[in-house]
Amino acid sequence: MTFGVRAHDFGRKEAAELASEIARMGATHVQLAPMKALKGFEADSGASNDLSLFMDKDKVLRIRELFTDQGIRISILGCYFNMAHPEPAIREKGIRQFQNYLSLAREFGTTRVGTETGSVRSDYGPDPRNNSEEAFEDFYRTLEKLIPVAEATGTTVCIEGVAQHIISDARRMDRVLRRIPPPHLAVIFDPVNLLTLENADQQERIFEECFSLWGHRIEVIHLKDFIWEGSTLRVVPLGKGNLNISVLGRLLRNIGSSMDVIIENCPPTLIPNAVEYLKNKGLLVLTHCPIADRDSTFYP
């Protein structure tokens, strides 16, 4: 298993600088959310309105080239939006933006675009109504507008479940995946996102249910950690908390398919610690590569 990172965990930078910094960490791939990570794609640049910057394919190809030159593959584009936003105009804007990402994903060197599934609240917050049938169908109507574009462009919509969102557990995710077969819908699996105060002591059961129902549909895994802090779960860098990495490792080895693993919510200064943690758990094997030799570092 190799590892990747989220580009915006390194801050917003020019593409060349960002690619160089990520390469020095030894990552082989990256989740890239251009509007969060790249200078020139800020919301006030006009990109958030019509993606006019993205429509310049030469610019997109140059970004891809800068990462490729550093030995980094763009694994997935991040285009996170509230798929059940209560204001139709805002939701439609998110749909158009996601469709544009799908249409340009291959220019970035990937076939995947990812998002969480959203909330009935405009602030993306938790709400009991997220567990309703009405919310599920509302989310699904948005998804139905994305899949035809994925089919036309040979790309994949990747959705990420979150315990407080509409797709909140293994079974609700399974309902979606049964309606839309592969290859144009897949899963970003973030194990910590599915944990709550009430179920965090049942990690093995939860993770095994996810893998038994749709492990074969997982294409990207996000790894972070968590601790109990009073009446909440707080996210911490990988290896600094209570995530049952041994269970995850066993399930990953058993599934036998290729997935991209992305370390997230981890400051760059702590990424080496996270990598060492995965290595000690037998989930990461380090080998030499030309860029690593040149930089006197290792690539996983």
- 0.85 exceeded by the pTM? yes
Architecture of domain 4-295: Alpha-Beta Barrel (3.20)
Note the pLDDT of residue 294: 29
253-276 pLDDT, tens digit each: 898 777 899 999 999 999 999 999
| pLDDT value, residue 74 | 98
**C-beta separation of 98 from 141 below 8 A:** no
pLDDT in tens, 30-41: 999 999 999 977
Share of the chain above pLDDT 90, in %: 82
Average pLDDT over residues 93-113: 95
Confidence grade of residue 192 (pLDDT, cut at 50, 70, 90)? very high
The answer, yes or no, to whether residue 300 has pLDDT greater than 90, is: no
Q: Which of 241-245, 252-256, 284-288 is least confident? A: 284-288
pLDDT in tens, 221-240: 999 999 999 889 999 999 99
